[in-house]
Amino acid sequence: MKKLVILISGRGSNMEAIVRAAIPGAKIAAVIANKPTAAGLAFARAHGIEAEVVDHTAYADRDAFDNALAIAIDRHEPDLVVLAGFMRVLGDAFVRRYEGRMINIHPSLLPSFPGLHTHRKAIESGVRLHGATVHFVTPTLDCGPIIAQAAVPVGADDTEASLAAKVLVQEHVIYPQAVRWFVEGRLRVEGNRVTVIDADLPSDGWM
């Protein structure tokens, strides 16, 4: 059984998609939020999952928060740390501690539009395709080896909100899928490239 710790900051719909996927061989040991108001905490508790808060405002600086977060995570001895709408930038030492066993979902087709406001940037830049990316976390923000991507068309009438909604539907498909691949030991990383062994999606994680 592979143990997962999922980190959230708010709504937690990606965490919910992973919980609902009931991935064989995966146990969600805990959901940890950096905000006491994170709505996803209630869903986790209602599903019998340990839900905790490590409130970043209680720490003097990023290192202190990262240390407290690492202690909370390590208590569960996870095989995989899943960032699901976790909106704090993590320091290099924290990221290295979980290298190869921490993944993130980002609402754009990386390497396009790292950082915030991805849907607005996609509309403003005039791209016809936008989407979401699941990737391993490395010290450079939104830059790690890509595990899965899904694309959606950008329509002439799309707004930031409508585009976000379309992308979110795809996030809920690719994130549980990527977690399942990890749990099944099917991800091979060479440099920045990830191969999915015996991928059951067309072209290794492209939807």
> Where along the sequence are the contacts to ligand GAR (CB under 6 A)?
8, 10-14, 84-85, 105-107, 168, 171
Residues 6+ apart with CB under 8 A from 163: 119, 122, 123, 130, 152, 154
Shortest separation between residue 17's beta carbon and ligand GAR, angstroms? 8
Q: Which is nearer to ligand GAR, 107 or 205 (CB)?
A: 107
Q: What are 103's two structure tokens?
A: 């993944």
Active site residue 106: yes
Say if residue 45 carries a ligand binding annotation.
no
Catalytic residue among 47, 56, 76, 106: 106
CA angle at residue 19 from 154 to 54, to 5 degrees? 95
* Least CB distance to ligand GAR at residue 73 (A): 18
Strand order in the sheet with 129-136: 50-53, 26-33, 2-8, 80-83, 102-106, 129-136, 146-153
**Residue 13 labelled as part of a binding site:** yes
Are 154 and 130 contacting, i.e. CB atoms less than 8 angstroms apart? yes
Between 174 and 187, whose beta carbon lies closer to ligand GAR? Answer: 174
The answer to the question of whether 104 is labelled as a binding residue is yes
**In the complex, minimum distance from the CB of residue 22 to ligand GAR, in angstroms, rounded to a whole number:** 18
Looking at beta carbons only, is 143 or 195 nearer to ligand GAR? Answer: 143
Question: 194 vs 39, 95, 182, CA distance in Å?
Answer: 33, 18, 11
Which segments are annotated as binding site?
A: 12-14, 62, 104
